[in-house]
Amino acid sequence: MSHASSSKICKYNVFLSFRGKDTRRNIVSHLYNALEQRGICTFKDDERLETGKSISDELLKAIEEARFAVVIFSESYASSRWCLEELAHIIKCKKELEQIVIPVFYDVSPSDVRHQNPPFAHSFSQQEVKYKDDMEKVQRWRDAFVEAGKISGYHLLNFKDEAECIKKLVDDIFPKSLQVISPFPESLVGMKSQVEKVTSLLDMESNDVRSIGIWGMGGIGKTEIATILHQTYRHRFEADCFLGDVGKLHQKNGLTWLQQVVICKLLGEKLTLTSEHEGMNILKNILRWKKVLFIIDDVNHQEQLEFLVGEPEWFGRGSRIILTARDKHLLISQVGDNVYEVQLLSEDEALELFSRHAFREKTPKEDFMELSRQVVKHAGGLPLALKVLGSSFYGRDKKHWTHIIDRLKRIPHKDILGKLRLSFDGLDKEEKELFLDITFLDNAYCGGSNFHLCVESVQRDPSRGFLVDCLVEKSLLSINISNKFVMHNMIRKMGENVNIFVMHNMIRKMGENVIREEYANSRIWLPKEVYDLFKGKLITEMVENLCIPKYYYFEDDFVNYSNTFKRMQSLKILIVGDGTFSSNCAITYLPSSLRFIDWPGFPSFSLPESFEPSQLVVLCLRKSWLAELCPISKKLSNLKHLDLSESLELTKPPNFGDMPILEKLNLEGCVNLKEVHPSLGHCRMLTFLSLSKCVKLKRLPKFVCMESLVTLNLLECTSLQEFPEICGDMRGLSILNLGSPWIRSLLPFLSGVRDLQLNDCEVLESILDTIRNLRDLSISGCNKLATLPNSLFESQQLEYLYIDRCSGLVKLPISLGVQKKLCRLTIERCENLKKLPSSIQMESLRNLRISDSPKLDTFPEINGDMHCLKFLTLKSSGIREVPSSIGNLSGLEFLHLEGCEDLVSLPDSLCNLMNLEHLILHRCKKLEKLPENMGDLQELYMLDVSETAIYQPPPSITKLGKLKILSLSGSNISCLPKNINKHKILSESY
């Protein structure tokens, strides 16, 4: 007999026991339909019996496989031997299998059942006559009646009508039936937190109609999340419908068929529709009175939303509509901003999910761990890939594992590709071409920083508009904003408008497969194909994108590269790896069809004279041998990105008047460039300009029409005499990096600057008080600065502050002490700094470092909540004491006071730092004792008291259970407490 306890997943939710002739056409029929409509799987003997099975055996088995047994007692119930056998077996399952029994008293009373009063008395008398030779059986039936009559159930006389009784019964059963299946089975790794976030969007307590979208790439878990939500919340609604795989069903069966399915599930009506409009009218006219949960999975066309979901007015108050799709724009058009983007699994989650399918365990077997990590890395946190790949490894030995992994590197798993290919097939022609170009770029750049920048540039190709946005919306490309450090550095390097694009490993593999099967020879990056191309074995006219790998070695030194390029009249993207061509390899021809060139170390002194660059959008010739860009004037009317950085031979600057829509210009490290063409100041579209390390550049032209400029980098321009004259509006300038020993002042037109870096501006005496909205401030080697204006910090926007080698700096303004967003503050080698704000209250500060500032003798009081501060360094400063308010730093893990030679004491409140792990007091030569309650620092791992005046540590030090490193060298401590050795101190030197 199978187990049917609450932890068991049963075949049926409900088994119905009833006397057919009394109830089949009334209460049983209505109850059965109500249960089924709520998705409660119900066994009814005239609907569910399998042909060829013994009726009695089938009934007994069905009872055992049900979570609930609903027994409808009617007047002739006891006249049926089958009903009596059912009831006896139900009572047995109640006792042995914890089955829940629910009696319904239909025109009879519980007392009649319990005592076998009329009308049951006559039925039992007849049974006794019929089974006079087996009275034990009859007694068993009587006992079952007694037991059932004692159970609290539903007496029809207590309700105004049959409908009310049925509604109450179904409402009571439904939430309990859901307990059979856990909402978060172990196999759904990494889903619980995501379901919670989607649930918050649903706002289940609100009584309005709410629609939300769940968005993500194929195989990422959208359907799983929607399924969990359906199982968890369906009992709260009058009707529910989960419509899965809508895109495929729409294509196969049409919208009218889908509407019929929805009407059947939500309204319990089987209708034949003649048109989509008829179905739409029925849905919106009938659903408006019902509170429904409607889930449509894998939407891929606007028509599906128009004819199945329509407007919120279609649905009754409290209804919830959940849509899943790979196309974000499609979801936004229906639900607005209520869209949740499903996240890939973390590395640990991915390993667990893979292991559950590869080993049927939570973690991989120890000797398979490294191989498992290789597969998990290949899958890139995509649940579908992890499940499919995990199952393919199940039960195989290491030899098979190695073979499969090697094969995966060449040919990705077809089951995964098929799922992902659906997104590609839904693109139009231009979108497909762009997707394949980006697949090519991702392979060419291996997903590095150049990939992000090139995708940013490719999407702006005039012939393509902004199709990259479509690829992001359709989950074939993503924008990574999780790594704030990488994003911050990218913005500093290339400007505010940079997106960090990411193509998932499995999406890229799918794209490679499409190229290989349907676009052969159009996009070439593999060394073997490059070899065949220059050997004349491939059709050069078909090549659109070409990447010659870094340090690629051409066996034949006499290959005429220019002749090969002449035959590539369709070439649009050319990427040449660094170190591929020697400097004596002149390039005399390039196809004028090129739109994108990235060729570090370009070996010629100029672009070929025959080359017409009118199609170029991106030109990156870093570390080139160029002396000039073009020998004769050429129109670069579509050029948006020009990078000639570190071109050491460049002496003649290009005429920027030939580049009317130039947006990014990088001339960094052009050390022989002495001047810039005057047309630079008229580049109206320019957003990014870097002239860093142009050490011979003495002056810049007037900035006349540069209102679009966001980033200006003039670091290490050691010959620049003055800041460029600004004639027009430059309020858009957000990032300014300046490094010249000759510039005495900044211009007052810089009020919009948010990131300011001043390096080695040795004669700069002040920073303008018009700069008020700084996010990032870095000052180094500015020796004439005595203070900073209070206005710099009044806006409360500062996040990073770095001050180094500013010997003239004496004090910092009071407003610095109350920065709400500041997360990192570093002050180093400011030898004359004497004063900080008297108190600090920086709720976001994580790292505070002050070092080599010997005249700073007082550390500020700590006010308010600063629990985020984890690292505090006061190295080689002149402080005499640490304020007692340091005990308020509840999150502090690292306290570094090395070289504070005037420090004489530590406050007792230091022992309140319950998270402190490292305490460094090295060379605090006047410090004679530690606080008595040092033993309270239970997380302390390292204590360095070397070269201090401490002669006796407090006895409580023996309580430091996690202390592993105690450095005593050069101290006055002659002996330790007797019990200190048991703490396994590993070192006495630091």
| 454 against 63, higher pLDDT | 63
- Of 179-193, 274-288, 466-480, 653-667, the poorest mean pLDDT is in 179-193
Q: Which of 5-19, 120-134, 158-172, 899-913 shows the lowest per-residue confidence on average (mean pLDDT)? A: 5-19
Condensed to tens digits (0 to 9), the pLDDT of residues 744-783 reads: 888 777 778 999 999 999 998 888 777 888 999 999 999 9
Average pLDDT over the chain, rounded to whole? 85
Distance from C-alpha of 858 to C-alpha of 837, rounded to nearest angstrom:
10
Please report the pLDDT score of residue 464 as a whole number.
Answer: 54
The token pair that represents 391 in the structure block = 């199952």
Give the closest residue to 459 by CA, choosing from 650, 617, 295: 617
The string of pLDDT tens digits covering residues 61-71 is 888 888 899 99
- What pLDDT was estimated at residue 983? 42
Q: Are 240 and 293 in contact (CB under 8 A)?
A: yes
Mean pLDDT over 682-709 rounds to 93
**Residue range 620-646: average pLDDT?**
92
Which pLDDT band holds residue 139 (cuts at 50, 70, 90)?
very high
Query: What single-letter amino acid sits at 100?
Result: I
- Return the half-sphere exposure (C-beta side, CA atoms, 13 A cut-off) of residue 874: 24
Residue bearing tokens 């399924």: 227
Helix (H, G, I), strand (E, B) or coil at 301: coil
- The number of beta carbons lying within 10 Å of the beta carbon of residue 738 is 23
What confidence score (pLDDT) does residue 493 get?
A: 46
Output the DSSP codes for 38-81. TT--EE-HHHHPPTTS-HHHHHHHHHHTEEEEEEEE-TTGGG-H
**C-alpha to C-alpha distances, 707 to 387, 655, 662, 683, 689, nearest whole angstrom:** 53, 19, 13, 9, 13
Q: Which amino acid is at 933?
A: N
CB 602 within 8 A of CB 578: no
Residues catalogued as catalytic: 86
- Percent of the chain scoring above 70 in pLDDT: 89
**pLDDT for the residue numbered 582:** 66
pTM for this predicted structure:
0.66
500 band by pLDDT with thresholds 50, 70 and 90: low
Bridge partner residues of 103 (DSSP): 71
**Burial category of 572 from C-beta neighbours within 10 Å (exposed 0-12, middle 13-18, buried 19 and up):** buried
For 167-215, write each residue's pLDDT tens digit: 999 888 876 765 544 445 666 788 888 998 999 999 988 889 999 999 9
Q: How far apart are CA 308 and CA 322, in angstroms?
A: 12
- pLDDT tens digits, 537-580: 888 888 999 999 887 777 655 567 788 889 999 999 999 988 77
Q: Are strands 478-479 and 339-341 parallel, antiparallel or unpaired?
A: unpaired
- What is the rounded distance in angstroms from the CA atom of residue 878 to the CA atom of residue 830? 12
* Residue 50: per-residue pLDDT: 38
pLDDT at residue 4 above 70?
no
Distances in Å between the Cα of 466 and the Cα atoms of 441, 461, 502 are 17, 8, 17
Parallel, antiparallel or unpaired: strands 501-502 and 478-479: antiparallel
pLDDT above 80: residue 431: yes
Answer whether residue 161 shows pLDDT above 70: yes
Q: Has residue 480 got a pLDDT over 70?
A: no
Return the percentage of the chain with pLDDT > 90, whole number: 45
- Work out the pLDDT band at 46, boundaries 50, 70, 90: low
pLDDT of residue 623: 93
Least confident of 426-430, 613-617, 692-696: 426-430
